[in-house]
């Protein structure tokens, strides 16, 4: 691909991201999505090939200079698999490293207290459902740019145009 050869990895990365206006907002990946519902960012390798990475992992390594070992997970505190909002300040970052379930559950509890809602719901969703929700969110952002209503709908799994029944 010519575009990959003429633009840098950071340029390509940010061309696929829509950032919310507030410092605490999500940054939504609008590029490729894998069959697990998470983004895919293709990164050129020294041997001339390309490797697909989750974009949030690429940004974490890009910003921190720390290479993530394969068994180190980046966990979403915001419950949005397409979010790539990494900050070196963990209090602002939507993603945190973790390697065990306890870490995630602890963040879920904190999220519930903070938001008064059931955060990290997508972590328990079936794979196919997560892919569907991620694609919906990506299409909303591709069509409208920053779209808080689409994120809210994504978190509840309810489409914005679905009538409320209660």
Tell me: does residue 94 bind Zn ion (CB under 5 A).
Answer: yes
Instruction: Count interface residues toward Zn ion (CB under 5 A).
Output: 6
**Binder to Zn ion among 12, 17, 18, 26 (CB under 5 A)?**
26
- Considering beta carbons, is residue 17 or 78 the nearer one to Zn ion? 78
**Which stretch in 16-24, 30-38, 88-96, 114-122 sits in contact with Zn ion by CB under 5 A?**
88-96
Determine, following the binding rule CB under 5 A, whether residue 85 of this chain makes contact with Zn ion.
Answer: yes
Among 12-20, 38-46, 90-98, 115-123, the segment contacting Zn ion (CB under 5 A): 90-98
Three-class secondary structure assignment of the chain: CHHHHHCCHHHHHHCCEEECCCCCCCEEECCEECCCCCEEEEEECCCCCEEEECHHHHHHHHHHCCCCCCCCEEEECCCCCCECCCCCCCCCCCEEEECCHHHHHHHHHHHHHHHCCCCCHHHHCCHHHHHHHHHHHHHHHHHHCCCHHHHHHHHHCCCCCCCCCC
Q: Is 83 in the site for Zn ion (CB under 5 A)?
A: yes
155 binds Zn ion (CB under 5 A): no
Residues in contact with Zn ion by CB under 5 A are 26, 78, 80, 83, 85, 94
């Amino acid at each position: 691909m010519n575009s990959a050869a003429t633009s840098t990895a950071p340029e390509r990365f940010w061309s696929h991201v829509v950032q919310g206006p507030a410092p605490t907002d999500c940054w939504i990946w609008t590029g490729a999505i894998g069959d697990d519902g998470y983004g895919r960012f293709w990164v050129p390798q020294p041997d001339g090939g390309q490797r697909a990475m989750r974009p949030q992992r690429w940004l974490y390594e890009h910003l921190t200079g720390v290479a993530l070992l394969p068994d180190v997970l980046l966990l979403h505190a915001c419950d949005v698999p397409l979010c790539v909002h990494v900050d070196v300040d963990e209090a602002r970052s939507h993603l945190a490293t973790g390697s065990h379930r306890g870490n995630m559950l602890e963040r879920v509890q904190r999220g519930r207290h903070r938001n008064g809602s059931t955060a990290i719901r997508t972590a328990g969703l079936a794979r196919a459902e997560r892919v569907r929700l991620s694609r919906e969110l990506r299409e909303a952002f591709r069509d409208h740019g920053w779209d808080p209503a689409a994120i809210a709908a994504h978190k509840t799994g309810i489409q914005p145009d679905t009538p409320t029944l209660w």
